[in-house]
Amino acid sequence: MKKYILGGVMSLLALNQEVYASELPVDYRNIKAEALGGTFSASANELSGIFANPAGLTLTRNPRNRHGVQGAQLPFPGEVGANDQMLAQMGANPDEWTKNLFDSAKQNPGKQSYLELQTMPAMTFRTGSLHTLMIGLPIRAESRVAYLEGADSSTAYVKTQQTASLAITNAFQTDKGLFRGGFTVRPNYRQSYETFSYPGEDTSTGDFTRKLYQNGITSQAVALDAGMMLTLPDEWFPTLAVSVRNIPTGCFYDYENPITHQKEKMCGTVRSGGSSGDPNEARLDPTEVRAGVSLTPRFRLGRRILNLRVAGDIYPIPLQVGGIRYGIDHIDTEDLYHVGVELFFGGALIQRGLSLRGGWQGGQLSWGSNLALGALNLSYTAYGAKDSLPQPDGTHRDFTERRHMLGISFLF
């Protein structure tokens, strides 16, 4: 059943089993948070915000709905993302995206083409006057393809990863909303694959999917996340937040730091199903600690209220206790700080109409917008991403690229 789910939703991505670079897995990329420079710990107010702070689930509920079911999110067709290189070659037919991925890489030797796909159907329930429950099915896949300079020009470097999860979040708030807390349980299934010698002629979706099932490394885990928000009683809603993603359930003694590429002892969510020679993403998801703050100044323009939300986050905060690491270290200082601003009309908590967003993270600007028309939500984001491409001589080439995401969802 797991294979059918992954194949039906993300059949564009395939895997192999030869060499591995070390990069942090992304279970779900929040399109709104990316536009805000990655800031969402203190302002998470939509369902996918549970990956930044589960306490934010309380900000998604409809206060006028006193029934058990609060709402349902149907993200179809979901969210699609690509870097500039892939976007220039990408057609309107999803069946051709696999071929587009290889064609764009072949036309730009030494540079990667990138594609990400995700979806998250979910339902929220009122479990008490101050409690909210969510059950969601986040599914995400991403793929990188490059024809490396100095390598065999008939074969491609391919790295793909896809994760299917069941996310169950229980969140609560105090009567006046001063304090909010939340806890998430995320059973998940992942397939990972990387090779320097993918046959350049096998670029159809069928070939890709077949290699995925034949050669992909699979792993399973049950991840635990928790978070809290403290909102002071003020018209501008000053909020402080702390969250922990992948609460430690064990340690991996041979983890390759994706920054230094050195082996170290790392703790987080331990994965099962892999072997000692498998890459990081099949063995462990490191603990990620976040701290954030947000403030929403409000101004009256005629009969309407204009909101300007300003937010800042610090993550992933590297922690070390007794020689054991809980979070990636040696990250550039500028990559730890995230800043975002959002401009919108209406209520400060539940947004409707048009929202404009901008942010800064890792020395890169990001921007985007969201249009909410009834149940329909349209979102766009452009953000800068730092990545690393392995080379045939065993070294890594670090670079920064611009990526774009487009999302369509229905919230009832």
Q: Is the pLDDT of residue 319 over 70?
A: yes
- Highest mean pLDDT: which range of 241-245, 247-251, 384-388: 241-245
Q: Is the pLDDT of residue 306 over 70?
A: yes
Do residues 338 and 313 lie in contact, with contact meaning Cβ atoms separated by under 8 Å? yes
Q: Is 48 helix (H, G, I), strand (E, B) or coil?
A: helix
- Whether the per-residue pLDDT at 144 is higher than 90: the answer is yes
Distance, in Å, from the CA atom of 356 to the CA atom of 90, rounded to the nearest integer, reads: 26
For residue 30, which amino acid is it? N
Q: Is the model's pLDDT at 409 over the cut of 70? A: yes
* pLDDT level of residue 68 (50, 70, 90 thresholds): confident
The phi, psi pair for 15, rounded to 5°, reads -135, 165
pLDDT of residue 174: 93
| Closest to 52 (Cα-Cα) out of 239, 278, 271 | 239
Q: What is the mean pLDDT of residues 91-109?
A: 93
**All domains in the chain, ordered by first residue:** 2-411 (2.40.160)
Q: Which residues contact 412 (CB under 8 A, 6 or more apart)?
A: 71, 72, 73, 74, 375
pTM: 0.89
Q: Is the dihedral of CA 290, 33, 166, 169 positive or negative?
A: positive
Task: State the average pLDDT for the chain.
Answer: 87
Judged by average pLDDT, the poorest of 104-108, 240-244, 271-275, 358-362 is: 271-275
pLDDT of residue 51 exceeding 90: yes
pLDDT at position 268 is: 94
* Ordered DSSP codes for 64-114: T--SSEEEEEEEEEEEEEEEHHHHHH--S-GGGHHHHHHHHHHTSTTSEEE
Q: pLDDT-based confidence at 354, cuts 50/70/90? A: very high
Distance CA 24, CA 45 (A): 25
